[in-house]
Amino acid sequence: MLSAQHYYPFFIYSVLLLSIVQCISLQSTSQYALLSTRKGIGGMVVYCIAFIILVGLRPVSYHFGDTVSYAHMYYGYQRGTTLCDPESSEWLFNGMMSRASHVMNVQYFFLIIEFFYIVPMLWACMRLVSKNGSIAMLFCLGAFSFFSYGVNGIRNGMACSLILLALSFVLGTKKEKIIAGVLCFCAYNIHHSTALPILCMIIAYVYRNTRMVMYFWLFSIVVSLVAGGIVENFFSGLGFDDRLNGYINSHQYDDSFSSTGFRWDFLLYSVMPIWLGWYVIFKKKIVSQNYQLLLNTYILCNAFWVMLIRSSFSNRFAYLSWFMYPLVLAYPLLTLPIWKDQGKKTGMILMAHVLFTYFMWLIKG
C-alpha cells in the first residue's frame, strides 16, 4: 500500500501518462472516426476500479484533508458518543455513516463513498458520450478538483457525482426524469449545497436561451467588481458557512484561493468551456439539447461563484460549477462535428486540461 504522501503523485502521473497515450492516438483520428466509432470502455473501467480500491482504502491521514474529520465522526458513531438525528439536515449521509459504523471499519466506509463518487461519474460519461465514454472520463480524472473531492470534500464530491448522473437523465423519458429527480433528492440530502446546481439545472431545462445565460455570466463579473462585498455578505448570511461547523474546513486548494481581490486567473480557467460553447453554438451554429443543458447549467452555477470570487470561502462555491467542467468541455469535442481535424484538436485540449492540473500541483509544491 502506498504511503499517504505518495497517493496524489502516483495518481497525477498515471493520468498524465494515460492522457499522453490518448493524445497520440487522437492525432491520426479523423472527425468521422472520432464521432461515429464506439471506443472500448474496459481499460477505463479497470482504472476506475483500481482507483476506488486504492483511494477508498487509503490510510486516515491529514494528507487527505477532511478524511481525518470524517474518520473521527465515524469513530464517534462506533463508540456511541455521536448519535444520528433522522430529522437533521443532510440526513442521508449521516444515516449512511451511522448504519455503516455498526458493521464495518472506517476504511470500508470510505471505499463505499469512493464507489458512489466514481461510478455515477463514469455512468454519466457513458450515457452522455456513449461512443467516447472512456475519453470523457479521462477528462474528469484530469480535472483540477477531481482528486480533492475524492479524499477531502468527499460528501460534496459524492453528491455532485449524483448531479452529473441526473443531468444525463433529465432530458429523457418520463421514467428517466423521475430517476433524475430521485438522484437530485439524494444529492441534496447528502450535501445541501447541491441546491445551487439543482436549481440551475431546472432553470436551464426550462429556459434554453444560451445567449442570455452568457450575458448573465458577464453581468455577474460586473456585480462582483462593483458590489462583491454586498453579495458576499448576503450569501454568508444564508448559512452556507454554518453547515461546515464541527469539522476541518477544506484545505486542498487554500493556497490557490488565498490571494485577496478578484481572481482573474481562475476566471480565465472557468471561461474556457464557455468560450468553447460560444464557438460551437453561435460560430458553428451546432444545435444539441444535451449540450445546451450542460453548458447553461454550468454557466449559471459559475456565475454565482463569480459573484463570490472575492470571498474567503469562494472555494466552497467554485466546485459547484467546476464539478461539471470536464464534461462541459469534453461533450462537444467528443459528440459534435466542430472541426475537420477534430481528433487532433481534442487531443491537444485534453493535454492542456490535464497539464493545467499537473502544473498547479507543481506550483503548490
DSSP, res 280: I
CA distances in angstroms from 260 to 153, 310, 313, 343, listed in the order given = 23, 7, 11, 40
Note down pLDDT in tens along the chain; length 365 residues: 689 999 999 999 999 999 999 999 999 999 999 999 999 999 999 999 999 999 999 999 999 999 999 999 999 999 988 776 666 668 899 999 999 999 999 999 999 999 999 999 999 999 999 999 999 999 999 999 999 999 999 999 999 999 999 999 999 999 999 999 999 999 999 999 999 999 999 999 999 999 999 999 999 999 988 876 777 666 655 554 444 333 323 444 444 444 545 677 788 999 999 999 999 999 999 999 999 999 999 999 999 989 888 766 666 678 899 999 999 999 999 999 999 999 999 999 999 999 999 999 998 86
Count the domains in the chain.
Answer: 1
CB–CB of 344/27 below 8 Å?
yes
Range of the domain at 346: 4-364
Cell 488565498 -> residue: 258
Looking at residue 35, its pLDDT comes to 96
- Asked whether 150 and 55 are in contact (CB, 8 A), the reply is yes
DSSP 3-state of 145: coil
CA-to-CA dists, residue 48 to 28, 115, 136, angstroms: 27, 9, 13
Q: What pLDDT was estimated at residue 313?
A: 60
Picking from 349, 306, 363, the residue whose alpha carbon sits closest to that of residue 143 is 349
- CB-based contacts of 263: which residues, under 8 Å, 6+ apart? 257, 309, 310, 314
Q: Tell me the chain's radius of gyration from C-alpha atoms.
A: 20
3-class DSSP assignment, residue 265: helix
H runs (alpha helix) in 129-241: 133-141, 148-151, 154-169, 174-190, 195-206, 210-236
